[in-house]
């Protein structure tokens, strides 16, 4: 019978379990103590760590609720019934009891626990080739660093575990929030050690959907940029390191100028295995009921067929007028990314960026879209932001212009002479944030871009300066400085209200 890998219990849920429950074993499964015996067992475990990313409650395509819908790009107008809890994210009315938030926390720590188990048990296995072992170690550390990076930006101080949790007492010892600085230090350690490995520069040299040195450099550069942009960690050294690693990632590209790659090709299902702009993506299997992507059909509005052959009955992926109005008139990305649905029950803009209208996807909409976590336009604009913050404006503008050129837009210098552009984006910082918004719309970057560039009060001021009529049913007036972070889920907080203290304002 095929072995099945059983994960250790989640870090914090262990603390509230009874001993007799913990001691129960599934007779049809292989427990973790007996799993790590061969190199292939380790490979399966590493595959399981990657697989954790696919969940919408982790970093997969359905995770837009926890980042994109928190921003000014998308959201929900339905605040009733089962939609009430999702509506809280964009309405800035989220409660610690929100079940979606709890699921996200649990799934992210599940992914971290998978990584910790691999790192704690890999030495049990004798490898015929130490290079294979080093590669698995690097992949696992990258994944753990990536997961913690997403968590620390959402919640701030976090429980930190870097070893497998095997009993209730150990879980109780670890169930306390450590400062953001400690989390960032661990992220840097994980990613730096992952980089010091035999991984190839690109996923094409290894396997599409697995990490590479380009991906590690890109995330490490973003980590340092984030650290260099927050008050407690703000320093030229962090920004210089951000520049170093982002430049390294950019230097590993296998194309010349960005306009060699059509924007549409980046999201083309038929090009996902070969598109040179892609650095790291979560893979989905076209036509498979269990492992396919549903992002094309889920975003499609009633009466439309542009995304999928699946007959939609909903409004699709909601696009805020605030974003619609941010596209410049001649921006080629607009018509590819969004569309107005004429159906009387919709009569609104929906997302068309993710499409699979193929025969293979079929009328069920079992699409093959991969969820892109890193691509080169993102790297370039992060590098532009870094150089801008280091005072290297000419270099920043050159990168910005390359992205704008592919979109069919005039250079930054020429655009500054256009009154409407200069009024909306008076500074280079505003221009880069705008470009990231329209280039990377619906790819889960917008909220992180905002919290990286505005402090808590600045974030409030930014949102309250917007027009409520362009924002939908979510109330801009709700936002306060507390909304810089999510609340700690109530079930985690109540384990130990002192050591698992709640974020201010909740």
The predicted pLDDT at position 11 comes to 38
Q: Is 303 exposed, middle or buried (0-12, 13-18, 19+ CB in 10 A)?
A: middle
Q: Do 179 and 157 form a contact (C-beta atoms < 8 A)? A: yes
The predicted pLDDT at position 393 comes to 98
Which of 158, 152, 140 is closest to 227 using CA atoms? 152
Three-state DSSP at 279 gives strand
Which of 311, 315, 316 is closest to 299 using CA atoms? 316
pTM over 0.85: yes
The predicted pLDDT at position 26 comes to 52
Q: Give the Cβ contact number of residue 196 at 10 Å.
A: 13
The predicted pLDDT at position 6 comes to 30
Angle (nearest 5°) at CA 246 between 241 and 248: 100
Q: Do 298 and 317 form a contact (C-beta atoms < 8 A)? A: yes
The predicted pLDDT at position 30 comes to 59
Rounded-to-integer distance, Cα 52 and Cα 18, Å? 26
User: For 45-110, what is the HEC assignment?
Assistant: HHHHHHHHCCCCCCCCHHHHHHCHHHCCCECCCCCCHHHHHHHHHHHCCCCCCCHHHHHHHHHHHH
Q: Do the two domains 1-198+484-501 and 201-281+372-453 of this chain adopt the same fold?
A: yes
The predicted pLDDT at position 84 comes to 87
Fold of 201-281+372-453: 1.25.40
pLDDT by 10s per residue, the chain, length 506: 333 233 333 433 333 333 333 344 454 555 677 789 999 999 999 999 999 999 999 999 999 999 999 999 999 888 775 568 999 999 999 999 999 999 999 999 999 999 999 999 999 999 999 999 999 999 999 999 999 999 999 999 999 999 999 999 999 999 999 999 999 999 999 999 999 999 999 999 999 999 999 999 999 999 999 999 987 667 899 999 999 999 999 999 999 999 999 999 999 999 999 999 999 999 999 999 999 999 999 999 999 999 999 999 999 999 999 999 999 999 999 999 999 999 999 999 999 999 999 999 999 999 999 999 999 999 999 999 999 999 999 999 999 999 999 999 999 999 999 999 999 999 999 999 999 999 999 999 999 999 999 999 999 999 999 999 999 999 999 999 999 999 999 999 999 999 999 999 99
The predicted pLDDT at position 79 comes to 78
Q: Which residues pair with 30 in a beta bridge?
A: 5
The predicted pLDDT at position 349 comes to 97
Q: Do 499 and 15 form a contact (C-beta atoms < 8 A)? A: no
Domain boundaries, the chain: 1-198+484-501, 201-281+372-453, 284-369
The predicted pLDDT at position 235 comes to 84
Pick the CATH number of 1-198+484-501 from 1.25.40.890, 2.115.10.20, 3.90.226.10, 1.10.150.120: 1.25.40.890
- For residue 480, give every residue at least 6 positions away whose Cβ sits within 8 Å of its Cβ, in sequence order, or none: 92, 460, 505
Q: Give the Cβ contact number of residue 172 at 10 Å.
A: 17
Rounded-to-integer distance, Cα 424 and Cα 237, Å? 31
Q: Do 151 and 158 form a contact (C-beta atoms < 8 A)? A: yes
């Amino acid at each position: 019978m095929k072995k099945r890998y059983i994960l250790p219990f989640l870090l914090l849920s262990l603390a509230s379990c009874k001993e007799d429950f913990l001691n129960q074993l599934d007779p049809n499964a292989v427990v973790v103590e007996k799993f790590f015996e061969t190199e292939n067992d380790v490979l399966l475990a590493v595959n399981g760590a990657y697989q954790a990313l696919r969940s919408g409650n982790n970093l997969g395509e359905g995770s837009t609720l926890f980042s994109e819908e928190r921003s000014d790009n998308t959201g929900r107008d339905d605040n009733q019934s089962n939609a009430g809890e999702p509506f809280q994210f964009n309405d800035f009315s989220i409660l610690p009891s929100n079940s979606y938030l709890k699921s996200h926390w649990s799934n992210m720590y599940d992914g971290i626990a998978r990584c910790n188990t691999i790192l704690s048990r890999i030495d049990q296995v004798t490898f015929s080739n130490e290079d294979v072992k080093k590669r698995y170690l690097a992949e696992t550390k990258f994944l753990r660093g990536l997961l913690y990076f997403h968590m620390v930006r959402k919640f701030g101080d976090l429980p930190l575990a870097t070893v497998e949790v095997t009993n209730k007492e150990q879980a109780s010892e670890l169930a306390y929030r450590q400062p953001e600085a400690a989390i960032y230090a661990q992220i840097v350690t994980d990613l730096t050690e992952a980089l010091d490995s035999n991984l190839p520069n690109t996923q094409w040299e290894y396997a599409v959907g697995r990490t590479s040195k380009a991906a590690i450099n890109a995330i490490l550069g973003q980590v340092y940029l984030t650290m260099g942009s927050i008050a407690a960690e703000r320093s030229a050294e962090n920004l210089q390191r951000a520049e170093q690693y982002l430049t390294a990632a950019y230097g590993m590209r296998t194309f010349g100028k960005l306009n060699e790659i059509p924007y549409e090709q980046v999201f083309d299902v038929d090009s996902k295995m070969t598109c040179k702009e892609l650095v790291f993506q979560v893979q989905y299997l076209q036509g498979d009921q269990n492992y396919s992507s549903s992002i094309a059909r889920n975003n499609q509005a009633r009466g439309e067929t542009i995304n999928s052959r699946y007959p939609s009955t909903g409004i699709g992926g909601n696009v805020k007028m605030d974003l619609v109005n941010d596209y410049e008139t001649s921006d080629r990305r607009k018509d590819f990314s969004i569309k107005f649905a004429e159906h009387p029950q919709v009569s609104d803009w929906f997302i068309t960026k993710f499409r699979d209208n193929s025969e293979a996807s079929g009328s069920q909409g079992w699409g093959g879209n991969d969820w892109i976590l890193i691509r080169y336009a993102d790297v370039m604009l992060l590098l532009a932001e870094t150089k801008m913050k280091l005072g290297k404006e000419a270099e920043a503008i050159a990168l910005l212009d390359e992205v704008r050129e592919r979109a069919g837009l005039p250079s930054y210098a020429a655009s500054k002479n256009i009154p409407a552009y200069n009024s909306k984006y008076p500074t280079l910082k505003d221009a880069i944030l705008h470009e990231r918004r329209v280039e990377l719309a619906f790819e889960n970057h917008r909220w992180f871009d905002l919290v990286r560039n505005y402090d808590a009060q600045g974030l409030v001021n930014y949102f309250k300066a917007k027009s409520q009529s362009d924002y939908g049913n979510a109330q801009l007036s709700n936002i306060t400085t507390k909304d810089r972070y999510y609340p700690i889920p109530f079930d985690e907080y109540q384990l130990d209200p002192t050591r698992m203290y709640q974020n201010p304002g909740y």
